[in-house]
Structures are given as C-alpha cells and as structure tokens.
C-alpha cells in the first residue's frame, strides 16, 4: 500500500478530482477505494495492478455514491450535501479554461465525460457502469460536449457531437 | 477527441497539487492501515455491509393494509413490497419485546438464537401509538458490483424506508431456518429525529443474507458479495426486523416476513403533495377508448400492485385549480422525461372519473407549458368516433398522467431493469400517474 501511494498517489488523486470535481473529495475517494481493495485479501502482483484495482474501485464507489445521492435527493431534497469546501482545485478551475468548462457540467455529465474520454470507455461500457441506457449516456455526452464546445476556443478543442435520438413531440 | 483526454489529464494533474504529499504521508498511511485491519476483522466475522442514508420528508400517512398470507417465493426480478403502519387508533396489545436488534451481547439477536418472531407490528409502549410509525420494505434482486471491478452479481436485497415523529430506528437483516437464526446483520441505526419538520423518513439497503453470515456491517459502500448466492435455500426465509425507539424507550417492533405480505398503497391510499413532492404511480398504457383513462380510474387505478414512488417536481406543477377550463397545469422547467410527452388530466368528479388531454405551449423563452384543452395534437387514447371531451371540473382525486416513465424514479424500486429502453427515444408502453391532490368545489 505504501508503495502504491508513493508511486501513484498523484495520478489517483487527479482521477478522483476529475470524477468528483473536488480535490478533497477526490482524496477521500482514493482512500475509500484503497480500503475497499485491500480489505479483501487478494493477490495483487505489482503496483500497476494495484493502481488499476484502486481506479476501478474509485469508479464504482463514485457511481454508487451518485446513485445514492440521486435517490435521496428525490425523496429528501435539501438533505444531500451540495458543495464541498473550496480547495486548491477550485482556484485552478477558476483560472484554467478546462476547469471552467468542467465546472459547467452536472455530476452525471462530468462522470460520463471522464469515463468516455479519460478512461476511454465505449458509450456502451459507460452506460453499463452508470447503469443507464446508451441513449441516456449519449444525451449526457452531447449536453456536456455542447457546454465544453462553448469553451472550445479557449480549450483549442475540436468538439465532436455524439448522436442522440430524436425527442417525441405531441 | 484524444486532445480532450490529454487536456483532462493535464488539468487533473494541475488541480491536485499537494495531494501526493497528503496521501503519501505517514499519517494517511497509518489511518488507511487501521481502516483495512478493521475491515478485515469485519469480513472475518462474515458481516455484510449496508448502505445507509437519512432522509427527511413531510408526507401524509399510508393506510394499514394487511394482506392474506401466502407462500414466500424468491424474488424474480420484480420486488415484493411490504407496508406497515401503526395508526393512532390501532388496536394492538402492548407486550414486552422478545428480541432486540441492537443490545449488549446477551440480548442482541444473533446467529444460533432460537426465536419466535411475530410478523407485522408488535407494540411495546403506549407511546408508539403517537409516533406515526411506518415501515415500507421491498425485497428484490439487485445488481451490485464486486471487488471494485467490473463484475456485477445479482443478489437479493432489502430496501427499507421507515418513518415516524422524532424516532430512532434499529434495523437488522436475518435469515431463519425454521426458528433458528442462521445469518444476522444487526444494528443499522438511523436517527430520523429532526425537530419541527413533521413526518421523518430514514432508509437503508441491506442484503438478504446467506447462511453463516453473522456480524455487523458498516462498510461505506456496497459490499462485495461474491459468495452471496440467492438466500432462498429450501426452508430458509430472509426477514427484516425494525425497532422504533424514542428517547431510549423501545416503542415497537416490526417484523417483515416475506411469507406474510402486505399490500402496497392502492386506489384510496394517496399521499397529498407536499413541498413540490408528488406521489406517482407507474401503470401500463391502456387501449384507446372514448375515455380510456377515466375508465381506468373508475375501475380502481392506480391500484394495488402498481409501482409507486415520490417525485420532486419543485414548483413546475402549479397549485391545482378547481376550474379546469383552459388552465395551465405545469410550467417549465420540467424533467426531461416529461417534456413533450403526451399528457392528460384525470379527475374524479361527482359524476365519475373523467380525463382530458393536455397540450404543450412553447413560450417565447423556450420553456414549455402544459395546458388543458385547446388545439393540441390528436389524443392517441381517443378511439375513432369518440368526441373530444370539453374542459372538466369536479371534486376528488386529480392526476397528471404522463405518457412515459422516469428511470430515476423506478431505480429505487428496483424496477428499472424491467424497462430497458430510453424514455426520451423509445416508447415504453407505460404511463406515470402523478397525484396532484384532492380538488373540492
């Protein structure tokens, strides 16, 4: 565990930040995932494998937390914590075009973008992880890319649009 | 968009300055080692984890609906629902508790105990009748991830919500082989005591156990259940035991035994809207007729067996007006799954249930409004040769019917897997009936 933290703490923290949008929440996510992975006695051949385990656990814990939060937000609006305390990442986000762009995304949109474009998962795999229909993920990605596209000039990105099915109209 | 991958990586790296130092510190390492050791001890005890949450919500009271006993059958993907309510005028005997979900080692319900659990509500203190005690439970299959990886296992889970006025709850999951406890997870404590907020709700999700799982679990996320085959071995029955307390006094015990089901709320068990939160039901869409939805309501819909949940629409749905002609029913922003779906109003008037189609009006600001009557699109539920109804008014229950369904609302009920389509794109064949309240002239 010590070797893992020495070698990969920064990368894991960055992944946690991208998922959660908060440096502190990202660090907490890293620690929760490490506990989850190491509580279970299993053979982990090397530190690279351990990092992969922890990243997968971070993704699972984050998605579980999002689902729980959404569930309780429905039955108890106002009872779910809305904001983490400001941290270094907020300062970076304020001055960084990517940070400003990410800040415009909802939690679901942000997660979909990170899984699709940072983890390089397919839309189908993103949908499976988020337990959503493919079409719903495409909609999140499309909305997110639209928002990022508004920052495209600053980001110097070429925004590609994911196809989304048509809306029904009465 | 490989450049997006690189920009995300660079931004993430820039944003976490200091994290390497904190996470790799001796203090963090020591804390993690301690947590891992604690977790391993719990695993060695065989404990299963829980997901716990606390919710506070003002809602009305559900009616007590005792059902006929039936043989318990394993969940088949559709949940079994159980509802228990202790009304203030209930006629229950007051008895001493025979089991404790959470106590010292000598009194706590544990593996190996021989018990006689009485299904339903058992009152231990007269004060229970004043506490508005309610328990709703679902037993069904859930997909849970294993080991932080990509594998999902289908396991049987309890989903429980409990309510009351200023009560603490202790909840445990058990597996019985006859009268013997062969698996137990005790002591999930949820405090739903928030002053001056009316009815309180708490909730948790916990595994229906496999034999020999004994202990207490408080892992922070869904636990790993690779060993959890369906608990329904012959003769073994999963039960949920919830105990309501007030100020340390044990008021009542509720034993949810799947062999003794209760009914979920039916046609006459409607929860009044409160603070933008509405009760909603999911029903199959009927065949076209002259008044298909009015006929459904008149025949008892929403009815026992429908999926029921609460949804927060904020102030998008306007306060109900008794004068329905030309009224605006809802004004954006509405949830995506509602906007642009076909919609109707159903009302119980003095002359029976009636329905009338709604139509969307696009405002200049891009928002949509739902209005009664007018020149909307043809009503897909109006059979050929039938006349479009005029605006209606009356008294009784009023529903906003939306031709579609929200996955987010179905998920807590474990029902989303039944409808594997995107409601924005595909036709689910389902309707959502949102109870707007009771109109009176």
Chain A hits for B342, CB-CB cut-off 8 Å, are: 170
Token pair 């404590």 is found at B189
**Residue at B33 is within a domain:** no
Q: Averaged over B132-138, what is the pLDDT? A: 75
More confident residue, B37 or B356: B356
Q: Where exactly are the structural domains of chain A?
A: 1-85, 96-160
pLDDT band at B376 (very low <50, low <70, confident <90, very high): low
Chain A hits for B417, CB-CB cut-off 8 Å, are: none
The pLDDT value given to residue B418: 39
The verdict on B174 and B312 lying in the same domain is no
A1: distance to nearest CA of chain B, Å?
8
Show Cβ contacts of residue B128 under 8 Å, excluding neighbours closer than 6 positions: B86, B244, B251, B252
User: Among residues of chain B, what percentage have pLDDT more than 90?
Assistant: 1
pLDDT band at A92 (very low <50, low <70, confident <90, very high): low
The verdict on B311 and B206 lying in the same domain is no
Q: Which candidate from B19, B148, B408 shows the least CB-CB separation from A23? A: B19
Asked if B19 reaches chain A (Cβ–Cβ under 8 Å), the answer is yes
The verdict on B231 and B321 lying in the same domain is no
The reply to whether residue A72 touches residue B53, judged by beta carbons under 8 angstroms, is yes
Interface of B with A in 343-402 (CB under 8 A): 343, 359-360, 376-377
pLDDT at A40 over 80: no
pLDDT band at A13 (very low <50, low <70, confident <90, very high): very high
The pLDDT tens digits for B378-412 are 788 888 888 877 766 667 788 899 887 776 555 54
The reply to whether residue B311 touches residue A74, judged by beta carbons under 8 angstroms, is yes
**Residue at B78 is within a domain:** yes
The verdict on B252 and B337 lying in the same domain is no
Give the lowest-confidence range in A94-98, A109-113, A161-165, B324-328. Answer: A161-165
Q: Which candidate from A6, A12, A64 shows the least CB-CB separation from B222? A: A64
The verdict on B310 and B422 lying in the same domain is yes
Give the lowest-confidence range in A56-70, A88-102, B227-241. Answer: B227-241
Token pair 């007051």 is found at B94
The reply to whether residue A74 touches residue B409, judged by beta carbons under 8 angstroms, is yes
The pLDDT tens digits for B15-28 are 888 888 888 888 88
pLDDT at A15 over 90: yes
pLDDT band at A94 (very low <50, low <70, confident <90, very high): low
Paired residues of B344 in beta bridges: B357, B401
B387: distance to nearest CA of chain A, Å?
19
The reply to whether residue B23 touches residue A13, judged by beta carbons under 8 angstroms, is yes
User: Among residues of chain B, what percentage have pLDDT more than 70?
Assistant: 56
The verdict on B196 and B294 lying in the same domain is no
**Residue at B22 is within a domain:** no
Distance CA B206, CA B54 (A): 14
The verdict on B157 and B297 lying in the same domain is no
Q: Which CATH class is domain A96-160?
A: mainly alpha
3-class secondary structure per residue, chain B: CHHHHHHHHHHHHHHCCCHHHHHCCHHHHHHHHHHHHHHHHHHHHCCCCEEEEEEECCCCCCCCCECCCCCCCCCCCCCEEEEEECCCCCCCCECCCCCECCCCCCCECCCCCECCCCCEEEECCHHHHHCCCEEEEEEEEEEEECCCCCCEEEEEEEEEEEEECCCEEEEEEEEEECCEEEEEEEEEEEECCCCCCCCEEEEEEEECCCCCCEECCCCCCCCCCCCCCCCCCCCEEEEEEEEEEECCEEEEEEEECCCCCECCCCCCCCCCCECCEEEEEEEECCCCECCHHHHHHHCCCCCCCCEEEEEECCCCECCCCCCCCCCEEEECCCCCCCCCCCEEEEEEECCEEEEEEEEEEECCCCCEEEEECCCCCCCCCECCCCCCCCCCCCCEEEEEEECCCCHHHHHHHCCHHHCCCCCCCCCCCEEEEEEEEEECC
Chain B hits for A120, CB-CB cut-off 8 Å, are: 5
Instruction: Determine the structural domain holding residue B189 and report its residue range.
Output: 46-256
CA nearest B49: which of A145, A159, A21, A40? A40
Report the chain B residue with the minimal C-alpha distance to residue A62: B221
Distance CA B108, CA B120 (A): 20
Q: Averaged over B77-85, what is the pLDDT? A: 62
The pLDDT value given to residue B322: 52
Distance CA B134, CA B126 (A): 16
**Residue at B32 is within a domain:** no
Show Cβ contacts of residue B190 under 8 Å, excluding neighbours closer than 6 positions: B52, B54, B162, B168, B169, B171, B202, B203, B204
Chain A hits for B157, CB-CB cut-off 8 Å, are: none
More confident residue, B297 or A95: B297
The reply to whether residue A23 touches residue B16, judged by beta carbons under 8 angstroms, is yes
Q: Which candidate from B5, B54, B425 shows the least CB-CB separation from A135? A: B425
The pLDDT value given to residue B215: 47
The pLDDT value given to residue B401: 92
Interface of B with A in 286-325 (CB under 8 A): 309-312
The reply to whether residue A5 touches residue B28, judged by beta carbons under 8 angstroms, is yes
The pLDDT value given to residue B231: 44
Give the lowest-confidence range in A37-46, A64-73, B217-226. Answer: B217-226
Q: Averaged over B118-136, what is the pLDDT? A: 82
The verdict on B235 and B337 lying in the same domain is no
Average pLDDT, chain B: 67
Paired residues of B274 in beta bridges: B277
pLDDT at A16 over 90: yes
The verdict on B302 and B216 lying in the same domain is no
Give the lowest-confidence range in B61-75, B141-155, B165-179. Answer: B61-75
CA nearest B84: which of B280, B240, B274, B209? B240
pLDDT band at A46 (very low <50, low <70, confident <90, very high): confident
Chain B hits for A10, CB-CB cut-off 8 Å, are: 13, 16, 19-20
A129: distance to nearest CA of chain B, Å?
8
Show Cβ contacts of residue B218 under 8 Å, excluding neighbours closer than 6 positions: B42, B49, B50, B52, B188
CA–CA distances in Å: residue A38 to residues A59, B39, B50, B219? 16, 9, 19, 13
pLDDT at B300 over 90: no
Q: What is the CA radius of gyration of chain A?
A: 17
Contact B155, B234 (CB under 8 A): no
pLDDT band at B68 (very low <50, low <70, confident <90, very high): very low
pLDDT at B227 over 70: no
**Residue at B16 is within a domain:** no
The residue of B23, B225, B340, B428 whose CB has the most chain A CBs within 10 angstroms, and thus the best one to mutate to test that interface, is B23
Structure tokens at B151: 């594998």
**Residue at B13 is within a domain:** no
The pLDDT tens digits for B192-205 are 544 444 445 566 66
Residue B95, classified by CB atoms within 10 Å of its CB into exposed (0-12), middle (13-18) or buried (19+), is exposed
B434: distance to nearest CA of chain A, Å?
14
The pLDDT value given to residue B419: 39
Domain boundary among B256, B288, B307: B256
Q: Averaged over B45-53, what is the pLDDT? A: 27
Q: Averaged over B101-114, what is the pLDDT? A: 76
Q: How far is CA B373 from the centre of its chain?
A: 34
Report the chain A residue with the minimal C-alpha distance to residue B29: A2
Chain B hits for A11, CB-CB cut-off 8 Å, are: 13
**Residue at B363 is within a domain:** yes
Report the chain A residue with the minimal C-alpha distance to residue B149: A56
Number of domains in chain B: 2
The verdict on B177 and B250 lying in the same domain is yes
Contact B257, B69 (CB under 8 A): no
The reply to whether residue B15 touches residue A38, judged by beta carbons under 8 angstroms, is no
The verdict on B136 and B224 lying in the same domain is yes
The pLDDT value given to residue B395: 72
Report the chain B residue with the minimal C-alpha distance to residue A117: B5
Give the lowest-confidence range in A82-91, B30-39, B53-62, B83-92. Answer: B53-62
Residue B235, classified by CB atoms within 10 Å of its CB into exposed (0-12), middle (13-18) or buried (19+), is exposed
Q: Averaged over B121-125, what is the pLDDT? A: 88
Q: Which candidate from B16, B339, B342 shows the least CB-CB separation from A26? A: B16
The reply to whether residue B14 touches residue A92, judged by beta carbons under 8 angstroms, is yes
**Residue at B261 is within a domain:** no
Establish whether this prediction's ipTM goes over 0.90: no
Paired residues of B185 in beta bridges: B173, B215
The verdict on B164 and B284 lying in the same domain is no
The pLDDT tens digits for A96-150 are 778 888 888 888 899 999 998 888 888 888 888 888 888 888 888 988 888 887 7
Q: Which candidate from B5, B29, B219 shows the least CB-CB separation from A2? A: B29
Chain B hits for A81, CB-CB cut-off 8 Å, are: none
């Amino acid at each position: 565990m010590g070797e893992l933290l020495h070698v990969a703490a920064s990368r894991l923290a960055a992944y946690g930040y991208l998922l959660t949008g908060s440096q502190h929440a990202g660090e907490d996510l890293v620690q929760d995932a490490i506990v989850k992975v190491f509580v279970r006695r299993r053979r982990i051949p090397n530190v690279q494998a351990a990092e992969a385990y922890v990243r997968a656990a971070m993704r699972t814990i984050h998605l579980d937390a999002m689902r729980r939060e959404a569930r309780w937000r429905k039955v108890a609006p106002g009872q779910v914590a809305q904001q983490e305390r400001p941290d270094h990442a907020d300062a970076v986000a304020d001055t960084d075009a990517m940070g400003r762009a990410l800040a415009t995304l909802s939690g679901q949109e942000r997660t979909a973008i990170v899984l699709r474009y940072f983890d390089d998962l397919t839309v189908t795999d993103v949908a499976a992880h988020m337990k959503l229909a493919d079409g719903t993920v495409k909609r999140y990605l499309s909305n997110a890319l639209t928002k990022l596209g508004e920052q495209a000039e600053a980001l110097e990105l070429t925004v590609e649009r994911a196809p989304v099915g048509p809306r029904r109209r009465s | 968009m490989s450049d997006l991958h690189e920009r995300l990586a660079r931004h993430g790296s820039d944003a976490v300055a200091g994290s390497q130092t904190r996470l790799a510190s001796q203090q963090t390492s020591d804390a993690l080692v301690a947590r891992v050791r604690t977790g391993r001890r719990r695993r060695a005890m065989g404990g299963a984890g829980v997901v716990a949450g606390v919710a506070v919500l003002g809602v009305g009271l559900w009616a007590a609906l005792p059902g006929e006993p039936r043989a318990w059958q394993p969940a088949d993907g559709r949940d079994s629902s159980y509802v228990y309510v202790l009304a203030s005028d209930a006629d229950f005997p007051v008895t001493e508790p025979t089991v404790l979900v959470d106590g010292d080692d000598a009194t706590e319900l544990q593996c190996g105990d021989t018990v006689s659990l009485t299904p339903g509500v058992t009152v231990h203190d007269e004060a229970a009748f004043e506490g508005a005690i309610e328990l709703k439970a679902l037993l069904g299959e859930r997909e849970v991830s294993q080991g932080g990886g990509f594998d999902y296992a289908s396991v049987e889970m309890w989903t429980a919500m409990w309510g009351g006025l200023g009560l603490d709850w202790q909840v445990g999951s058990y597996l019985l082989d006859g009268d013997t406890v062969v698996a137990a997870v005790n002591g999930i404590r949820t405090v739903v005591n928030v002053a001056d907020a009316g009815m309180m709700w708490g909730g948790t999700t916990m595994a229906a156990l496999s034999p020999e799982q004994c202990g207490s679990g408080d892992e922070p996320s869904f636990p790993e259940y690779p060993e959890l085959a369906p608990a329904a071995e012959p003769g073994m029955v999963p039960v949920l035991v919830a105990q309501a307390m007030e100020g340390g006094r044990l008021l009542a015990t509720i034993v949810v035994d799947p062999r003794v089901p209760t009914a979920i709320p039916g046609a006459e068990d409607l929860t009044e809207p409160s603070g933008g939160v509405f009760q909603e039901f999911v029903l199959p869409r009927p065949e076209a007729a002259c008044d298909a939805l009015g006929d459904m309501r008149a025949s008892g819909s929403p009815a026992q067996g429908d999926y029921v949940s609460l949804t927060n629409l904020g102030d998008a749905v306007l306060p109900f007006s008794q004068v329905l002609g030309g009224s605006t029913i809802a004004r954006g922003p509405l949830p995506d799954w509602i906007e642009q779906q076909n919609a109707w109003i159903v009302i119980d008037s003095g002359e029976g249930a009636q329905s009338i189609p709604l139509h969307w009006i696009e405002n200049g600001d891009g928002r949509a409004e739902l209005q009664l009557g007018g020149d909307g699109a043809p009503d897909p539920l109006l059979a050929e040769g039938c006349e479009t109804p005029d605006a209606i008014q009356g008294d009784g229950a009023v529903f906003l019917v939306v031709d579609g369904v929200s996955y987010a609302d179905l998920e807590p009920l474990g029902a989303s897997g039944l409808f594997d389509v995107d409601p924005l794109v595909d036709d689910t064949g389902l309707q959502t009936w949102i109870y707007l309240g009771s109109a009176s002239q």
